[in-house]
Every structure is written in C-alpha cells, then in structure tokens.
Amino acid sequence: MKAINRRQAFALGGGFVMLTLMPMAADAEVTNDAAKWIEKFTSGKQPAKGKISLDLPEIAENGNTVPLSINIESPMTAESYVRDVLIIADGNPNAGVATLSFTPLSGKAEASIRIRLATTQNVVAVAKMSDGTLFTEQKTVKVTIGGCGG
Amino acid sequence: MADKPRIKLPKEAAKGEIIQIKTLVSHVMESGQRKDAQGKVIPRKIINKFACEFNGKPVFSCALEPAISANPYIQFDAKVDEAGTFKFSWTDDDGTVITAEEKIALKV
C-alpha cells in the first residue's frame, strides 16, 4: 500500500474537521431525517456559507404559520441563476418543508412562504446554482406553540 | 371544493420589469400528523406542487411538504419581457389540480 503523502493527509484532516464541526453548529437538537434530505439535494457535496438571506422571526408565537422569506444573490440570467432551493426544518416530524425551483424568468431569486414548525429548531436553506455550486444558510426559530399534531 | 385562488399582480408592467406575484389558495394542508377524537390519524391531504408559467415557459415552481401552513401563501417574482398570460396550478395529493390565469400587458 502506498503511504499517504502530505497533500492527502491535509485533505483528510480537513474533511474530518468539517464532519466534527457540523453537528456542533446546530443549536437545537436534530430529531429527524434532515441530514438525509440535505445529502440527497447536494449529492454529498459541502455547501458554502453565504449568498442567501433567510428571513424568519426569531420567536414564533404560533408554529402553525411562520413567515419565511428567502432572497439569494444572483444575476438570474440564462447563464447564471439559482436553480433549486431546499428548505428544511430539523425539528419537525418530517424534515422537508419545500423545494423552490427558479428560472431566469423569475427575475429575482426571492420567495416568501408560510411554514409550520413543531418546536424550537433550526430552519436550513440550501441553494443550488445553475453551475452546480451550493450555498447554505440557517436560522434558529423559537416556537411558543407548536404547529404539528394536537 | 376549494375557493377560487387569490392572486395579486400588477395589470401592466414595463418591458423587462421584475414584478412581484402573491398567491393564496384555500386548502386545509392536512399534515397526516394529527389525530381525530377517536385517536385515528387523519390522512395526509396537502397541495404538493405549485407551478407558475408565463406564455408556456416555467417561471417558478415549488414542491411542498406537510410543513407548509394551511391556505398556502406563496410569493415570488417574475420578469416580464412581453405581454402575456400567467398560468398557475396547485396540485393536490388526490390528483386534483386547481388552476388560475392572469393576464399582464406591457406599459406603453
């Protein structure tokens, strides 16, 4: 077997650091299949931070309707645009919230929806650009009254 | 059956203008998580897909999960390069599709 050279050792080390840091980045506990959703969407690639502004209330009194606005920096031309955006809630019974699909005809990569949150948790957005690059952002929302079950 | 969806967008736009479209459709969006008085799970019934086209070309669409609030409100933007018709569709779990159309003219 070939010994690992210096470059490979660094690459391995970097990957390991990412893996160990990731769960710590989340404030609330992940209770569902959020990781699976994200992995399916990104095909295992690591999204970068930035480009996305995710707007959610810090405290949601009613988890049944939590307004969510998302805005992604992009020229939105035929050459370069935001293709898909995955929205995940990591403390809901099911992680998936919505997948938004934009086109250059959207003009702006901006959308607002209203979502249900069962409990205090992180809402994660992952955006896939037309060139395949990935960006992510997340926000913690404190929920006073849950929006699922009853 | 559901009421007519409410859609708000300008009547006319300048060429190349980016307009904002707001849509709201009445729907229970039953999550499949809730139980009735007898303790039986109420089956899931949601709108699982929304799509908007302009003159036959896709503008915006989204796949929705049970974590979307009842009476789903969706707001997005569209770039208007020509006069035409926006077509909206909401697809239910049971296969029914709610559709709506809105025309837009170019400002002269």
pLDDT tens column, B15-45: 999 999 999 999 999 988 888 899 899 999 9
Pairing mode, if any, of strands A82-89 and A59-62? Answer: unpaired
Mean pLDDT value across residues A114-118? 94
Selecting from A65, A97, A114 the residue whose C-beta is nearest the C-beta of B65 gives A97
A132 interfacial to chain B (CB closer than 8 Å)? no
Residue A86 distance to chain B (closest CA, Å): 9
Mean pLDDT value across residues A83-96? 94
Q: How far is CA A95 from CA A34, A72, A90, B20, B42, in A?
A: 5, 22, 5, 28, 20
Has this prediction a pTM greater than 0.80?
Answer: yes
Cα gap B11→B80, rounded to integer Å: 12
B62 and A106 within 8 Å at the Cβ level: the answer is: no
Q: What is the pLDDT of residues B68-100, one digit of tens each?
A: 999 999 999 999 999 999 999 999 999 999 999
CB-CB contact of B67 with A92 (8 Å): yes
* Binding-face residues of B in 32-71 toward A, CB within 8 A: 33-35, 54, 57-70
Residue B69: how many other CB atoms lie within 10 Å: 21
Per DSSP, A104 falls in state G
Structure-block tokens of residue B2: 């559901």
Which residue in A106, A112, A130 has the most chain B C-beta atoms within 10 A of its own C-beta, making it the best mutation to test that interface? A106
Mean pLDDT value across residues A98-126? 95
Structure-block tokens of residue B13: 């736009």
